């Protein structure tokens, strides 16, 4: 590793055009890390070329629409097949960045004479993006500390489980484009504060604009930069470069926000973006303060006015003058406010745990406070930037597990900063001790041994036991029938193909929102809800339909023109005569997810689920089952357990009524996990 050697020539340009041995080592290491990271992200290819998870399917549908109708058509796209029977204005429901990127790459390849199906382009796009992110991580670490820390940042991004998950084969979603934009924005913002302010700031602004039109997490980045600017002014580190740079970056970004229908002009002045205006106003105040000749009075004036601005704007924001902070954004700012049903029932919106941080970063976690302490002692511009990056990203990810991907570069940079600082601190101590013993010639040897040992002790646990590499080696969710295990289970693929080929073209399908994208995109059928969860009222109605008796469910589904209902449960078959299958609980099917439906509907879980003693192989288990007082006539349970009613009644003493107006027309042949019912309205 080269953390210590690079620290001696942190960001110095190469002398002439010759490449030294250090340069070759850096470039070879960087290429190897990119290749390693790309190889990890390609591991799922052994199971075939598929889109992963759920959101990438709607992004693919968007790219397909753009290829067929043009980029401008996005802004007038109304999709009647989503959230039927009302339909969805796609331009306001989704962000254009990811489908635009997929369509642009596809059209570019075709222009160059490379004929590749659009589906393959979007499946492989995240892998390419992952390689770019690893490369950009190097440049960010290099700009803030040195080339050694840049390589460490690339290494962490190459093996980080969250980064791998969000940029692996098939994960064509917001992070694959958004992270590129974020890293470009940070790199060139830092560069703009040193030289060539205008061109670098423009590139930074374009990067942040790309992030904004692709991923709503741009709000973190723009507010992080705003916070950095305000703190630098308060520390007396203001410069005209900073004012110009931040003005350019924020202006370009906010223009992109205003031009994106999903945000619109209302987002320009809102509690989400007010930080950018505060930072710019603080810079203007500091510019006028230059007219005060006395430095002490200038400082007092600046601090007083800035503090007043912060208090006033904070009070106005809390009072709702700029609008309300709601949903997942409120959960990030205030983790104790998780009262929104959507936030509480979506896995990627759960809070992160310290065990997740430690299992991913191992020994690097212990270097975080060390790096922050060194940064606070030196308090250079870069040190302030690094400290804020670490603290804010950790806070955001602690509130919202999906934001863990933001932590990876911060952890790497701060840990690398700690390593570089420790090595730099120990070097003069070693030299002093060796000089006292007249053995100064041994300095480089002992120093080299110490450096190698420190880096090895730090990085070996991180690389050798990386959960990211293990988590990457699995098939796409649709291949494993939404189980996430390393096995081909074709139930969903079979069911979607059957629905595509056998259901009427105008059929409207009812299901829980988790499977909406799959049914809409792969089966090409209209659905009443999907993974965007943009219509909370409709989700509540769907939850009530599933959790009530047939008369209620038929009334709700009739209002939505539903003609078929799809249910899913990864049953474990325990006997065959009569067939008895149990819901597993460690894999979430519709029975397990009915607890989330209860949260949406405001129902009590004890009315539906109750523990039942089950004898499995001579061992008694207390197993949560559909045995509550309302379970027997619950529509969802009638549909899920219909094939096993006889065994449930005879073996477990659980009575579940047979559906009267729901006709089972399909059950997936492999395991019977996906069932399609036709509604025969009375």
Residue 145 lies in a domain: no
**Dihedral (Cα; 627, 628, 630, 635), 10-degree rounding:** -50
Q: Which two tokens stand for residue 674?
A: 């996906």
pLDDT tens, 143-197? Answer: 998 888 898 889 889 988 888 989 999 999 999 999 999 999 999 999 999 989 9
Residue 501 lies in a domain: yes
pLDDT tens, 469-506? Answer: 777 889 999 999 999 899 999 999 999 999 999 999 99
pLDDT at 458: 66
Domain of 664, CATH number, reads 3.40.50.12610
Total number of domains constituting the chain = 2
pLDDT tens, 197-231? Answer: 999 999 999 999 999 999 999 999 999 999 999 99
117 versus 615: the higher-pLDDT residue is: 117
Domain that holds residue 640: 491-679
pLDDT tens, 67-84? Answer: 999 999 999 999 999 999
Residue 528 lies in a domain: yes
Residue 466 lies in a domain: no
pLDDT at 110: 95
Query: What is the value of pTM for the model shown?
Result: 0.89
How many CB atoms are located within 10 Å of the residue 253 CB?
A: 28
pLDDT at 276: 92
Rounded to the nearest integer, the mean pLDDT of the chain is: 86
Residue 195 burial by CB count (10 A; 0-12/13-18/19+): exposed, middle or buried? exposed
Residue 198 lies in a domain: yes
End of a domain among 301, 324, 347? 324
End of a domain among 269, 299, 324? 324
Cα 507 from Cα 154, distance rounded (Å): 48
Residue 566 lies in a domain: yes
Length of the chain: 682
pLDDT at 357: 65
339 versus 276: the higher-pLDDT residue is: 276
Is 176 in contact with 130 (CB distance < 8 Å)? yes
Q: Any idea which of 1-15, 292-306, 505-519 has the lowest mean pLDDT?
A: 1-15
Round to the nearest angstrom and report the end-to-end CA distance of the chain. 73
Q: Looking at the predicted structure, is the pLDDT value of residue 662 above 60?
A: yes
**Dihedral (Cα; 571, 577, 578, 581), 10-degree rounding:** -10
pLDDT at 641: 96
How would residue 17 be classed by pLDDT, with cut points 50, 70 and 90? low
Which of 263, 136, 109, 131 minimizes the C-alpha distance to 190? 136
End of a domain among 324, 341, 357? 324
SS3 content of the chain, % helix, strand, coil (to 5): 65, 5, 30
How would residue 288 be classed by pLDDT, with cut points 50, 70 and 90? confident
pLDDT at 298: 78
Please give the average per-residue pLDDT across 8-36, as a whole number. Answer: 73
Residue 382 lies in a domain: no
Residue 168 lies in a domain: no
């Amino acid at each position: 590793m080269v953390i210590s050697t690079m620290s001696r020539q942190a960001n110095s340009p190469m002398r002439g055009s010759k490449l030294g041995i250090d340069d070759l080592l850096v470039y070879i290491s960087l290429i190897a890390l990119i290749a390693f990271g790309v190889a990890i992200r390609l591991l799922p290819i052994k199971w075939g070329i598929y889109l992963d998870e759920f959101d990438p399917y709607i992004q693919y549908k968007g790219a397909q629409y753009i290829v067929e109708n043009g980029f401008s058509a996005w802004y007038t796209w109304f999709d009647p097949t989503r959230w039927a029977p009302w339909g969805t204005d796609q331009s306001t429901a989704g962000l254009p960045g990811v489908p635009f990127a997929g369509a642009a790459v596809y059209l570019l390849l075709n222009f160059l004479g490379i004929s590749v199906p659009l589906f393959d382009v979007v499946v492989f796009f995240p892998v390419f993006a992952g390689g770019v992110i690893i490369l950009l991580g190097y440049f960010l670490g290099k700009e803030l500390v040195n080339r050694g820390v840049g390589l460490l940042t690339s290494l962490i991004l190459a093996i980080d489980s969250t980064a791998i998950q969000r940029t692996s084969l098939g994960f064509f979603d917001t992070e694959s484009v958004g992270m590129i934009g974020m890293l470009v924005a940070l790199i060139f913002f830092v560069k703009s504060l040193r030289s060539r302010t205008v061109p670098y700031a423009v590139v930074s602004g374009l990067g942040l604009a790309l992030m904004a039109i692709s991923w709503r997490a741009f709000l973190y980045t723009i507010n992080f930069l705003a916070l950095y600017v305000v703190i630098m002014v308060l520390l007396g580190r203001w410069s005209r470069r900073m004012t110009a740079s931040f003005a350019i970056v924020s202006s370009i970004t906010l223009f992109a926000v205003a031009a994106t229908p999903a945000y619109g002009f209302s987002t320009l002045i809102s509690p989400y973006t007010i930080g950018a205006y505060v930072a710019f106003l603080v810079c203007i105040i500091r510019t006028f303060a230059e007219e005060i000749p006395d430095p002490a009075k200038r400082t007092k004036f600046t601090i007083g006015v800035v503090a007043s601005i912060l208090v006033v704007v904070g009070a106005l924001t809390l009072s709702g003058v700029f609008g309300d902070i709601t949903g997942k954004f409120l959960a990030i700012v205030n983790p104790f406010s998780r009262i929104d049903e959507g936030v509480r029932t979506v896995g990627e919106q759960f809070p992160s745990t310290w065990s997740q941080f430690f299992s991913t970063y191992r020994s690097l976690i212990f270097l975080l406070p060390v790096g922050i302490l060194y940064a606070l002692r030196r308090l250079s511009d870069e040190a302030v930037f690094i400290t804020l990056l670490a603290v804010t990203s950790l806070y955001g990810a602690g509130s919202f597990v999906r934001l863990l991907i933001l932590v990876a570069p911060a952890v790497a940079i701060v840990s690398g900063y700690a390593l570089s600082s420790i090595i730099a601190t120990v070097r003069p101590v070693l030299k002093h001790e060796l000089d006292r013993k007249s053995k100064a010639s041994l300095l480089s040897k002992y120093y080299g041994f110490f450096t190698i040992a420190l880096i090895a002790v730090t990085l070996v646990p991180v690389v050798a036991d990386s959960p990211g590499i293990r988590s990457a080696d699995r098939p796409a969710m649709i291949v494993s029938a939404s189980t996430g295990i390393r096995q081909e289970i074709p139930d969903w693929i079979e069911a979607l193909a059957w629905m595509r080929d056998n259901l009427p073209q105008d059929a409207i399908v009812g299901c829980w929102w988790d499977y909406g994208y799959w049914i809409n995109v792969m089966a090409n059928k209209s659905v009443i809800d999907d993974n965007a969860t943009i219509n909370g009222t409709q989700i509540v109605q769907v939850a009530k339909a599933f959790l009530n008796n047939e008369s209620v469910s038929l009334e709700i589904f009739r209002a939505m023109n539903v003609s078929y209902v799809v249910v899913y449960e990864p049953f474990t078959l325990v006997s065959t005569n009569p067939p008895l299958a149990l819901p597993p609980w460690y894999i979430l099917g519709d029975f397990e997810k009915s607890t989330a439906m209860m949260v949406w509907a405001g129902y009590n879980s004890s009315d539906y689920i109750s523990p039942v003693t089950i004898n499995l192989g001579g061992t008694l288990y207390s197993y949560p089952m559909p045995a509550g007082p309302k379970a027997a006539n619950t529509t969802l349970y009638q549909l899920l357990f219909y094939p096993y009613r006889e065994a449930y009644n005879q073996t477990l003493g659980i009575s579940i009524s047979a559906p009267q107006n729901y006709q089972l027309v399909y059950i997936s042949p492999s395991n019977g996990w996906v069932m399609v019912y036709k509604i025969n309205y009375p």
